[in-house]
Structure 1
Amino acid sequence: LSGFFGGLSGHQGALRSVFLLRLKLSKEQFIATGIAIACMIDVSRLSIYAINIRKSAGALNYTWLIAATLAAFAGAWLGNKLLKKITLSLLQYIVAIFIILFSIALIAGIV
C-alpha cells in the first residue's frame, strides 16, 4: 500500500517512514531499512533513466551529475555524524514533525 501511493504521488520516503516507525526498530535499523528500500527503488528507477538518456542522444549534464553525487556523499557523511548524537525518540519526533509539515504542504498544494 505504501509503495503504491508513494509511487503514485512521488513521495515514497515520507510514507515509508510512517510504516517503519510502527515497527519499533532501533535508530540504526530504521535508517538502514529506509536506505535499503530506497536503493532498491532507485536502482530500478535509474536504469530506466539511463535507457531514456541513451535514447535522447545522451544529453547528460555532467555538472548536475557531479553536484548531485557530491551532495549525496555530503548528506550521507553528515547523517552518519548526526545519527551518533541523537536518540531514537528524537529521531521519531523529527520524522513525525516532517511528516506533519509534508502533509500540510500537500493539503495546501505547495507540493
Structure 2
Amino acid sequence: MSKEAFVATGIVSAVIVDAARLMVYGSAMLAAEFSQTDGLVLPVVVGSLCAFIGSFFGKRILPKVTLRVVQLIVAIAMVIIGSGLVLGLL
C-alpha cells in the first residue's frame, strides 16, 4: 500500500468515526427537548470543523513526522494522563 493510500485511509476512517459520533449526538438532540439542546449546536459545529481542519493539515504534516516521534508523544501523554488519574487530578 502506498503512503498516500495509507494517509487517505486514515482520513476516511476519521471521517467515518466523526460521522457516526455526530449521528449519535444528533439522535440524542432529537430525543431531548430542543430548548435544552440549543447550547449544543455550537460545540458540535466547532468540533466538526476542528476535525476537518485537523485531518486536512494532518495530511500535510504527517509525512514529515516519523513513527518514533508519534510513539514518544503518545507514551508521554499516557504517562501524564495516567499520573493525573492516579493523583485524582483528572
Same fold (TM over 0.5): yes
**Alpha-carbon RMSD:** 3.2
1:49 aligned to 2:25?
yes
| Alignment partner of 1:68 is 2:44 | no
CA distance 1:102–1:75, shift in 2 (3 Å): same
CA distance change for structure 1 residues 42 and 102 in 2, over 3 Å: closer, same or farther? farther
- Compared with structure 1, are the counterparts of its residues 86 and 73 closer, same or farther at alpha carbon in structure 2 (3 Å cutoff)? same
The structure whose residues are more often helix, as a share, is 2
| Percent identity of paired positions between Structure 1 and Structure 2 | 24
Q: Residues of 1 paired with 2:22 and 2:75: CA distance?
A: 29
SS class of match (2:64): coil
CA distance in 2, matches of 1:108, 1:48: 33
Please identify the structure whose Cα radius of gyration is greater: 2
> How many residues get paired?
81
Structure 1: gaps spanning 5 or more residues: 1-27
User: How far does residue 64 in structure 1 lie from its aligned partner after superposition?
Assistant: 2.1
| Structure number with higher relative contact order (C-alpha < 8 Å, ≥ 6 residues apart) | 2
Q: Which consecutive segments of 4 or more residues in structure 1 shift more than 6 A?
A: none
For structure 2, the 5+ residue unaligned runs are 1-5
TM-score, length of structure 1 as denominator length: 0.53
